[in-house]
Structure 1
Amino acid sequence: MIETGQTAPDFTLPRDGGETLTLSAQKPQKVVLYFYPKDDTPGCTKEAIGFSEQLDAFTAAGATVIGVSKDSVKKHDKFRDKHSLTVALVSDEEGTVCEDWGTWVEKKMYGKTYMGIERATFVIDGEGVVRNIWRKVKVPGHVEEVLEAVKAL
């Protein structure tokens, strides 16, 4: 389980648009790394649109925003285009990054237990250290809360 003060586990993953993204290559920028269950579902769409709408404010605060799910790059491209998203969306189809970050968890819905991605957000400083963590994120107000944390770094 990732904790504040820990060095962020590095990764290189394919991203929307066909390029790759390496977390450590984002230094010295701050990074907002958010994990979400699935492209084009109601909560995930609201969250992605919220981060996209505030991307200029995050950029002004010296941060980049990266969304992670197990969806394919092709699905990310459709999701991005459908909702005019401007944040980077990386594909963790193998689930190794979700495992490394502790967001691949047991979930329950309608009495059934299954494995899925926990909606979680991490703020990483320009040195690559995790400074803030939100787990079991509720979407309303979350983007604003994360932006305030980034500004406070």
Structure 2
Amino acid sequence: MNKLVNRSLATGALIAAMAMATSASAAISQGATAPDFTAQASQAGKATTITLAKALKSGPVIVYFFPSAYTGGCDIEAHAFATEAAKFTAAGATIIGVSADSIQRLNAFSADPNYCAGKFPVASDPEGKIAASYDLKMSAAEPNATDVRGAVIDHGFISRTTFVIGRDGKIAAVFSSEADHLHPQDHVSKSLAIVEQLQSAKSP
């Protein structure tokens, strides 16, 4: 984890630029029906296709939008989701990450043992269409931006926002780093607490 924190500090300037670029937007709210989507995604380094409606057949779904793979906060968040993946599974929940990264970048990120570690899919939304359906804005690409590997980031940034969607397709909770002043890890702990509550609520 220290390695991730150090990388986060090393990319502080980029994260600050991303925070400024991804100005807060009024995401769709709790109780609304979550927009369905189908997207190309990657899990464990392999491209696949995911559909929200299909995932909901198994239980609640966490759809979390993040600015970019291989940047400090997003790396910490992915690592935390991967670390807690078994607990989400035990609560009957599915995790889906969404960013504007290309599928090629996500193939590497999804398989990286330091981050997603093959535990959940990350979907590519290069034009921000999925984000827009959730009333999230995508900023333009930052000139000369690079990730923690030194690779160029040539896509826009979607603000860090998490939606916990109940099996009924309704949004049970929504929170963002900007509006709620959350650390990336908070998105994971809050999501887990909510799906565990949903699981307890349906138990006899």
**TM-score when normalising by structure 2:** 0.67
1:107-151 CA distances to partner (integer Å, 9 max, x unpaired)? Answer: 9x9xxxxx7311000000011110100112421333112101111
* Residue of structure 1 in register with 2:187 after alignment: 142
Confirm whether residue 151 of structure 1 aligns to residue 193 of structure 2.
no
Confirm whether residue 64 of structure 1 aligns to residue 105 of structure 2.
no
Give 1:81 shift.
Answer: 2.3
Give 1:15 shift.
Answer: 0.5
In 2, Cα distance between equivalents of 1:6 and 1:141:
23
* Residue of structure 1 in register with 2:54 after alignment: 25
1:27-82 CA distances to partner (integer Å, 9 max, x unpaired)? Answer: 23100110000000010000001001111100100100000000011100111223
Which structure carries more strand by proportion?
1
Say whether the 8 Å CA contact 1:103–1:119 is kept in structure 2: no
Give 1:13 shift.
Answer: 0.3
Within 5 A, what are the aligned runs for 1:17-96?
A: 17-28=46-57, 29-82=59-112, 83=114, 84-96=117-129
After the TM superposition, which segments of 4 or more aligned residues of structure 1 sit over 3 Å from their partners?
none
Q: Which amino acid aligns with 1:76?
A: L
Say whether the 8 Å CA contact 2:97–2:123 is kept in structure 1: yes
Say whether the 8 Å CA contact 1:48–1:87 is kept in structure 2: no
In 2, Cα distance between equivalents of 1:116 and 1:27:
26
SS of the aligned residue for 1:65 comes to strand
* Residue of structure 2 in register with 1:118 after alignment: 159
CA RMSD of aligned residues (A): 1.8
**TM-score when normalising by structure 1:** 0.89
In 1, Cα distance between equivalents of 2:138 and 2:105:
22
In 2, Cα distance between equivalents of 1:87 and 1:146:
15
Aligned with residue 129 of structure 1, among 159, 170, 175: 170
Gap runs ≥5 in structure 1: 110-114
Identity over the aligned pairs, expressed in percent? 35
* Residue of structure 2 in register with 1:100 after alignment: 133
Which structure carries more helix by proportion?
2
Gap runs ≥5 in structure 2: 1-26, 143-155, 199-204
In 2, Cα distance between equivalents of 1:39 and 1:151:
27
